[in-house]
């Protein structure tokens, strides 16, 4: 005797070995024995054999018309045997019952299950709606397959192409487009980005990289709506100084300028003048919301996405020839020893005499020319005293650091000479030593300002946003703590308020400190232990990492393009560690498959065979080992070696910190490098 039973949602049949009141011992055709509860059994039968029963019944059930069966079935609940008598015109045998059971069970749209072997027909209105939904689903499945087949064949359906960006940034995995793309990717063994790019969803990899970034971080576009600027600070006194700014030739956001005068006693009075957008962009204002949403200007070769609207930049950038509100720090110091004898902070208007440019003056301002005191240099009365004091200040920091700073590594500037959205646009990558005197000079005074103003906030009992490093750990906080890598007792970001949100926040606090002194905590925008400051720190760090990742990707893309444009097929590189190398003629770090086990700093020759602009990977092979070895201190720091995605690189390289407050040189619209997180 055989039994038909239900197990794990499926119908099965087997040979009965033994029976009890509550269970049966059953053996399947494979020889497996199971204990089946009697409540799970539907009926027993003598023929056909179990394996033949289910096979034949499944085949026969497909011939039963569901619509006709639904019309024949009683409108109330019924069992299979009762319906079988009406349908077949006689008491059904085991095969007929099983055939009918399988057909009923396979059509939940027509028949609702009410227990084992019992069903009830769906009401007419529910059946109509369910059939319409089923038909729609079938049409969608057919369309999904059609799209998938087209992509496999090399054609991009317009419906999928219109959603290309969202499919790789925020895919709806229940959508037809995604299901079609997923099936096509599985068939072609390609990633979604790779397949869509090959099908022409983007004209080139550059458009994909930018489109993905903008869709993720700027879904509403990068342009600001028209904003109104309330002109403030016009009543401030005009500073009697001769100030100059120093930036790349393409910089448009002029944050800082310097002035200097020699006092009768031989000491110097240096003015560090910082743009003051904090006078108009106040906490909680509409302009504040715009800046806080971006946290920092986004840089990339050839272009940028500013943190502030153009109206704010135009109103507060320290452009030459006009009086602009500024936050000024005047420091009196001994130019020989670097001892700071006193300082004073003011809100005032500053008229910059000239916006100096690195590209025009770096060749004139060399260490050799500055060391030759008999030589008259451009802006001689400005550059020489500032340089003398900058060297003394750097020596003081070196004493605190316990070691000299390594400023010898080459950095690179990117210049995209044309449309930055066209990958065929010529790109220039120019090497530049990061210890150029103008760089070091400006950086030294920005460090002085950030340290001094950080101390001012602390002395007034005001919280600020600080960068500290102790025992190798670099972090942001609201307390004034030492930064050992730079060699200062505290370091608060204050000198880039047009380009970095934390500097703007600190500027609000500084304005309160200057205007109200020790009573500033009563009126400052942020009071001690203000939770919003910690929210700003967390938001800034996360945003800054995303911006830095995108900048690195864009620089890697243009490096690969530069190698192609220059038709470079062989070059030398430096081994950083294991299979990681850095090209000697471009700022590109890559992994080189097949590289022998070599020491850090060893020089190799490699052959460039191609590039993957989507994965941003260099394709090259090892040729030979060269005799030269680069000293460890001249190698890239760990941030570069690992393609910099962390927010704590400066623990190993304090010189990078020195450049944090100037706008580093790397693009033809300001800079492709945001101020380092120092």
The secondary structure of 490-549 as a DSSP string is --B--S-TTTBHHHHHHHHHHHHHHHHGGGGGGTSSS-TT-HHHHHHHHHHHHHHHHHHH
- For residue 472, pLDDT over 90 is answered with no
Same domain flag for 181 and 95: no
Characterize the bridge pairing of strands 78-79 and 427-433. Answer: unpaired
Residue 668 burial (CB < 10 Å; 0-12/13-18/19+)? buried
Same domain flag for 91 and 168: no
Q: How far is CA 633 from CA 134, 297, 616, 652, in A?
A: 69, 31, 28, 10
pLDDT for res 635: 62
- For residue 176, pLDDT over 60 is answered with yes
Percentage of the chain with pLDDT > 90?
74
- For residue 269, pLDDT over 90 is answered with yes
pLDDT for res 633: 57
Q: For 374, list phi and psi in degrees, rounded to 5.
A: -80, -10
pLDDT for res 417: 92
- Residues 549, 645: contact at Cβ < 8 Å? yes
- For residue 645, pLDDT over 70 is answered with no
Same domain flag for 48 and 156: no
Q: What is the 3-state secondary structure (H, E, C) of 575-618?
A: EEECCEEEECCCCCEEECCCCCCCCCCEEEEEEEEEEECCCCEE
- Residues 56, 95: contact at Cβ < 8 Å? yes
Local confidence band at 642 (pLDDT 50, 70, 90 cut-offs): very low
- For residue 620, pLDDT over 90 is answered with yes
Evaluate whether residue 44 is within a structural domain: yes
Q: Region of 658 please: left (phi>0), alpha (psi -120 to 50) or beta.
A: alpha
pLDDT digits (tens, 9 = 90+) for 419-449: 999 999 999 998 876 678 998 999 999 999 9
Domain's final residue, options 122, 150, 181: 122
Q: Which of 265, 242, 332, 255 is nearest to 297 (CA)?
A: 255
User: In 3-state terms, what secondary structure has residue 636?
Assistant: coil
| Cα R_g (the chain), whole angstroms | 37
The greatest distance separating any two alpha carbons of the chain, rounded to the nearest whole angstrom, comes to: 124
- For residue 660, pLDDT over 60 is answered with no
- For residue 644, pLDDT over 60 is answered with no
For the domain that residue 46 is a member of, what is the CATH number? 2.30.30.360
Percentage of the chain with pLDDT > 70?
92
Highest mean pLDDT among 82-96, 245-259, 320-334, 518-532: 320-334
pLDDT digits (tens, 9 = 90+) for 445-464: 999 999 999 999 999 999 99
Same domain flag for 14 and 76: yes
Q: Which of 136, 192, 144 is nearest to 168 (CA)?
A: 192
| β partners of residue 245 | 355
Long-range contacts formed by 107-113: CB under 8 A, 24+ apart = 107/66, 109/134, 110/66, 110/67, 110/69, 110/70, 111/70, 111/73
Evaluate whether residue 466 is within a structural domain: no
User: In 3-state terms, what secondary structure has residue 660?
Assistant: coil
Evaluate whether residue 489 is within a structural domain: no
- Residues 585, 637: contact at Cβ < 8 Å? no
Evaluate whether residue 382 is within a structural domain: no
Residue 433 corresponds to which tokens in the numbers above?
A: 């030593």
Evaluate whether residue 66 is within a structural domain: yes
Same domain flag for 117 and 150: no
> Among positive and negative, which fits the CA dihedral 531, 278, 674, 386?
negative
| β partners of residue 41 | 5
How many other CB atoms are found less than 10 A from the CB of residue 30? 7
Same domain flag for 67 and 145: no
Local confidence band at 228 (pLDDT 50, 70, 90 cut-offs): confident
Same domain flag for 116 and 141: no
State the average pLDDT for the chain. 88
Which stretch of DSSP H or E encloses residue 332? strand 323-333
pLDDT digits (tens, 9 = 90+) for 385-416: 999 999 999 999 999 888 877 766 778 889 99
DSSP category for residue 558: H
- Cα distance between residue 168 and residue 352, in whole Å: 47
Local confidence band at 134 (pLDDT 50, 70, 90 cut-offs): confident
pLDDT for res 657: 31
How many domains is the chain partitioned into structurally?
Answer: 2
- Cα distance between residue 125 and residue 135, in whole Å: 16
Residue 326 corresponds to which tokens in the numbers above?
A: 């500024």
- Domain extent, residue 184, equals 137-201
- For residue 32, pLDDT over 50 is answered with yes
Give mean pLDDT, residues 607-621: 94
pLDDT for res 632: 62
pLDDT for res 227: 85
Evaluate whether residue 23 is within a structural domain: yes
Evaluate whether residue 327 is within a structural domain: no
- For residue 647, pLDDT over 90 is answered with no
Evaluate whether residue 456 is within a structural domain: no
Same domain flag for 16 and 118: yes
Reported residue count of the chain is 678
Local confidence band at 634 (pLDDT 50, 70, 90 cut-offs): low
Same domain flag for 159 and 85: no
Same domain flag for 10 and 115: yes
Q: Which of 441, 463, 442, 443 is nearest to 454 (CA)?
A: 463
Same domain flag for 178 and 102: no
User: In 3-state terms, what secondary structure has residue 420?
Assistant: coil
- Cα distance between residue 261 and residue 259, in whole Å: 7
Same domain flag for 10 and 57: yes
Domain's final residue, options 169, 185, 201: 201
pLDDT for res 665: 34
- For residue 649, pLDDT over 80 is answered with no
Domain's final residue, options 66, 89, 122: 122
């Amino acid at each position: 005797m055989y039994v038909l039973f239900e197990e794990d949602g499926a119908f099965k049949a087997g040979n009965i070995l033994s029976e009890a009141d509550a269970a049966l011992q059953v053996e399947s055709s494979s020889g497996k024995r199971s204990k089946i509860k009697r409540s799970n059994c539907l009926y027993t039968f003598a023929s056909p054999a179990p394996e033949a029963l289910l096979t034949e019944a499944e085949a026969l059930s497909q011939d039963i018309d569901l619509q006709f069966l639904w019309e024949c079935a009683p409108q109330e609940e019924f069992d299979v045997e009762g319906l079988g008598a009406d349908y077949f015109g006689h008491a059904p045998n085991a095969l007929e019952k099983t055939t009918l059971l399988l057909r009923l069970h396979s059509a939940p749209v027509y028949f609702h299950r009410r227990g084992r072997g019992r069903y009830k027909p769906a009401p007419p209105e529910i059946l109509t709606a369910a059939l319409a939904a089923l038909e729609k689903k079938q049409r969608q499945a057919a369309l999904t397959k059609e799209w998938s087949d087209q992509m496999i064949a090399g054609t991009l359906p317009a419906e999928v192409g219109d959603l290309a960006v969202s499919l790789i940034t925020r895919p709806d995995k229940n959508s037809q487009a995604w299901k079609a793309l997923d099936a096509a990717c599985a068939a072609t063994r390609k990633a979604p980005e790779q397949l869509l790019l090959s099908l022409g969803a983007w004209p080139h990899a550059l458009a994909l990289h930018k489109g993905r970034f903008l869709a993720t971080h700027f879904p509403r576009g990068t342009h600001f709506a028209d904003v109104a600027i309330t002109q403030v600070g016009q009543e401030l006194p005009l500073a009697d100084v001769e100030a100059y700014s120093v930036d790349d030739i393409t910089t448009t956001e002029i944050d800082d300028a310097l002035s200097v005068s020699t006092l009768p006693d031989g000491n110097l009075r240096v003015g560090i003048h910082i743009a003051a957008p904090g006078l108009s962009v106040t906490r909680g204002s509409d302009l504040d919301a715009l800046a806080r949403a971006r946290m920092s200007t986004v840089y990339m070769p050839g272009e940028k996405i500013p943190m502030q609207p153009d109206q704010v930049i135009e109103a507060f950038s320290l452009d030459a020839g006009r009086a602009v509100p500024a936050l000024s720090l005047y420091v009196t110091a001994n130019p020989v020893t670097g001892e700071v004898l006193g300082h004073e902070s003011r809100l005032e208007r500053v008229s910059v005499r000239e916006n100096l440019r690195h590209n025009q003056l770096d060749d004139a301002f060399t260490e050799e020319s500055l060391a030759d005191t008999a030589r008259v240099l451009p802006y001689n009365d400005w550059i020489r005293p500032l340089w003398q004091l900058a060297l003394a200040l750097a020596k003081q920091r070196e004493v605190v650091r316990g070691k000299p700073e390594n400023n010898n590594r080459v950095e690179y500037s990117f210049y995209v000479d044309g449309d930055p959205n066209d990958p065929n646009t010529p790109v220039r990558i120019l090497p530049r030593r990061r210890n150029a005197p103008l760089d070091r000079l400006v950086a030294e005074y920005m460090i002085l300002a950030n340290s001094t103003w950080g101390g001012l906030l602390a002395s007034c009992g005001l919280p600020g946003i600080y960068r500290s490093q102790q025992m190798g750990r670099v972090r942001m906080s609201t307390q004034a703590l030492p930064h050992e890598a730079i060699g200062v007792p505290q370091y608060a970001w204050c000198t880039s308020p047009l380009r970095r949100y934390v500097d703007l926040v600190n500027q609000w606090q500084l304005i309160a400190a200057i205007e109200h002194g020790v009573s500033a905590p009563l009126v400052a925008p942020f009071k001690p232990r203000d939770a919003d400051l910690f929210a700003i720190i967390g938001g800034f760090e996360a945003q800054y990492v995303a911006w830095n990742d995108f900048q690195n990707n864009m620089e890697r893309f243009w490096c690969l393009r530069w190698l192609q444009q220059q038709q470079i097929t062989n070059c030398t590189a430096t081994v950083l560690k294991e299979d990681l190398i850095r090209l000697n003629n471009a700022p590109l770090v890559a992994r080189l498959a097949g590289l022998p086990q070599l020491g850090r700093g060893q020089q190799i020759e490699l052959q460039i065979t191609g590039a993957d602009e989507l994965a941003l990977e260099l394709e090259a092979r090892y040729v030979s080992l060269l005799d030269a070895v680069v000293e460890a201190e001249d190698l890239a720091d760990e941030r570069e070696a690992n393609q910099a995605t962390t927010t704590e690189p400066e623990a190993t390289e304090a010189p990078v910190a020195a450049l944090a407050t100037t706008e580093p040189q790397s693009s033809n619209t300001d800079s492709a490098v945001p101020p380092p997180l120092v």
